[in-house]
Amino acid sequence: MPSLLTRRHVIAGIAGAAGLAGTAGVVAVAANRNTPKLVDPHSEAIHRAELARQRPGAATVRATLTPRPVTLDLGGVTVDTWGYAEDAPAPLIRAKAGDRLRVDVVNELPVDTSVHWHGIALRNDMDGVPGVTQDPIGAGGRFTYDFTAPHPGTYFYHPHSGVQLDRALYGVLIVDDPNDAGRYDQEWIVVLDDWVDGTGHTPDDVLAALGDGTAGMHGGHDTPGMDHGGMPMDDGNMESMTSPLLGGAGDVDYPHYLINGRVPAAPVTLTAQPRQRVRIRLVNAASDTAFRVALGEHQLTVTHSDGFPVVPDVTDALVVGMGERVDVEVVVADGVFPLVAVAEGKTGQALAVVRTGGGSPPSAEVRAAELDRRVILTNQLRAADNVRLPQREPDRTHDLVLGGGMMPYRWTINGKTFTDAEPLLVGEGERVRLRMINQSMMFHPMHVHGHTFALGDGGARKDTVIVTPHQTVTVDLDADNPGQWMTHCHNIYHAETGMMINLAYQL
Ligand code: C2O
Ligand code: CU
């Protein structure tokens, strides 16, 4: 198949693999060398934790999701894909903190699927990980997710099956704070995505090409100056797949980048009145792309990261990694402004149009000067006082050495691919420290299911954090939600080829 990959990353990957050789054998030593007994996702402990979350008088929010083959119009680009609706993203699900969600999933796909509630500290048996917390939902099958959503914030849902996330199978879940009406006049939900499905390759084709090393190489040979068969792979493109902020910025050079399911040539329009205060909920549902986001002629006040409040930070632009959600506030000026999400380190961008007054719409290639001013990563944010994790010495520390590369295409934690990696054992009630040590050439947005960790001392509460090449990020969490919790890179191709490990409560 023609290539979506850049040769530069094949090379970078080899260097990464060489680096890995030096770390093979660095495996977190389990506290208990004998086979530990793990908390079963369907046991009494999970039921007890759920009861503690339930509130008297809580409402039940019901929804139905029907994953199925759909044809989507991305704005002049029509694609056959899989979605939950005739649109991407799927319809919003909205609840109040403490509400119970009951979501019926009716699988009309030709394959197994599942739904994971990304960022929610829910009961383990509803976490949606086939083979760990439930059986896969087979083709033609049904499953009802039924859980309490304890914490307010911006979340999303997607399959935890193969690389299905890289299709249109994603939607936003907002949990409102019943005690906080919000200080804003308008709310815009902005979902970022990288898109390939239905353009000649499926995400499974991409995965296969990555795995057999033929992607970018036309039959396994990738020599400089060879004919790339008219694919969008020139030297400029190759160079552009690294980012000064992220290092190796991705493995897949996507044909399209989307905001709310639209290509930049036919963007969505977000409206408000001049001088209104708008809350923008940014969700990065992409599979291999971080986005640098800015709103032309405005600064953004970051208020929440992964659902939890932060000390407000005023910035010109910010980078949102895959799986991250960031809420920003902005007082909008009068006119028409581009909301630009540049594929960080890649060629291309997503666009939405902000309209509060007269003016002609921006072009698809519009840039915003703010993109090159103050740019922050969310790991620079500080937790708001009311969500700071109380200080406590860790009861145990686990290292997660992030390794791997492009040749072979294999991504590892502690030198192993899932499910070979030794689980990260924890005990209920413990303070657990995770040290994520990136020894690869790529950035990895590392996500922990079922918990919200704290970044260092007083850092933001998050469930997904970018770890850049050769960086170590240390996070602490309270082990207060028993079960078996996937901890993985939210680059879906990295996760699918091994970069996942089990944060395992033991009995
Ligand atoms: Cu959105 Cu296991 O992740
Ligand atoms: Cu990764």
User: Which domains, ranges and CATH numbers included, belong to the chain?
Assistant: 7-173 (2.60.40.420), 386-505 (2.60.40.420)
Ligand 1 atom nearest the C-alpha of 165 is: 1
Q: How far apart are CA 313 and CA 300, in angstroms?
A: 8
486 CB near ligand 1 (under 6 Å): yes
Closest ligand 1 atom to residue 488 Cα is 2
DSSP-based three-state secondary structure for 176: strand
CA-CA distance, 99 to 402, in Å (whole number)? Answer: 37
Rg (CA), the chain: 22
- Contacts with 29 (C-beta within 8 Å, 6 or more apart), sequence order: none
Q: Whose CA is nearest to atom 3 of ligand 1?
A: 118
pLDDT in tens, the chain (507 residues): 334 443 333 323 323 333 233 233 333 334 445 678 999 999 999 999 999 999 988 999 999 999 999 999 999 999 999 999 999 999 999 999 999 999 999 999 999 999 999 999 999 999 999 999 999 999 999 999 999 999 999 999 999 999 999 999 999 999 999 888 778 999 999 999 999 999 999 999 999 999 876 654 333 333 332 333 323 323 334 445 899 999 999 999 999 999 999 999 999 999 999 999 999 999 999 999 999 999 999 999 999 999 999 999 999 999 999 999 999 999 999 999 999 999 999 999 999 999 999 999 999 999 999 999 999 999 999 999 999 999 999 999 999 999 999 889 999 999 999 999 999 999 999 999 999 999 999 999 999 999 999 999 899 999 999 999 999 999 999 999 999 999 999 999 999 999 999 999 999
**Amino acid 33: pLDDT:** 56
Type and span of the H or E element at 396:
strand 396-405
Ligand 2: distance of its center to the CA of 242 in Å? 14
User: What residues have their beta carbon closer than 5 A to ion ligand 2?
Assistant: 444, 489, 491, 494
pLDDT score, position 179: 86
pLDDT score at 34? 65
Closest to 426 measured CA to CA, from 475, 485, 473, 467: 485
d(CA 258, CA 87): 12
Q: Check residue 457 and give its pLDDT.
A: 87
Encode burial over 420-437: b for 16+ CB neighbours within 10 A, e otherwise: ebbbbbbebebbbbbebb
At residue 212, the pLDDT reads 79
Q: Measured from the CB, is residue 100 less than 6 Å from ligand 1?
A: no
